[in-house]
Amino acid sequence: MKEVTGGYAGRILSLDLSTGDVEDTPTESYAPLFLGGRGIAAKIYWDEVPPDVSPFDPQNRLIFITGPVTATTGFCGSRWQVCGKSPLHDTFSYCNLGGNWGAQLKRAGYDGLVVSGQAEGPVYLWISNHGVEIRTADHLSGQGAIACRETLKEELGRTVNVVAIGPAGENRVVFALSL
């Protein structure tokens, strides 16, 4: 587990699926000025996404973000958010989620994950103690989110945490959800 100071792990991971580029941004660039994960996500979105970008455009950002209490044992310690321009109403939106995924992202040393670009085919992001990898997900395509999660747990280990979309998300159904 990475050291967390002031409620933050210290880094935001940015991933461009078009180029495969992966980089880190210090959380301290945002945390003193913006309250919690949603505030940081809104600032990243404001800075990086032009207003005329459509929801499915590779220039859009899908932002997975934690807040300063994520991964604590107290109130709201399991909460994290997904933010970006919604295809349902074409404006910046967010979804508040619970569970262990956000805490595990923070324990891996990241307060957030910012995804941009468009991969040539199905991919998934593998974050481990050895680094960050973009891996092919051809074998997962078409599976439901739960089946996808179970397949990855069989391949990578039962303790792995997974956020996945199912066929609705793959087919760009505007009200699709992830698990």
Confidence tier at 179 by pLDDT (50, 70, 90): low
Contact in structure between 178 and 168 (CB atoms under 8 Å): no
The percent helix, strand, coil of the chain (3-state, each to 5) is 25, 25, 50
- Beta strands at 22-26 and 11-16: parallel, antiparallel or unpaired: antiparallel
* pLDDT one-digit tens code per residue, 115-152: 999 999 999 999 988 899 999 999 999 999 999 999 99
Question: How far is C-alpha 4 from the geometric centre of its chain's CA atoms?
Answer: 19
pTM: 0.91
- Beta strands at 112-116 and 11-16: parallel, antiparallel or unpaired: parallel
**Tokens 């809104």 map to which residue?**
42
Over 80: is that where the pLDDT of 74 sits?
no
Confidence tier at 93 by pLDDT (50, 70, 90): very high
Residue 27 is classified by DSSP as G
List 66's β-bridge partners, or say none.
80
Contact in structure between 123 and 151 (CB atoms under 8 Å): no
**H/E element, 37:** helix 36-48
Question: How far is C-alpha 116 from the geometric centre of its chain's CA atoms?
Answer: 11
Considering only residues 72 and 85, tell me which one the structure prediction assigns the higher pLDDT. 85
CB-based contacts of 90: which residues, under 8 Å, 6+ apart? Answer: 54, 55
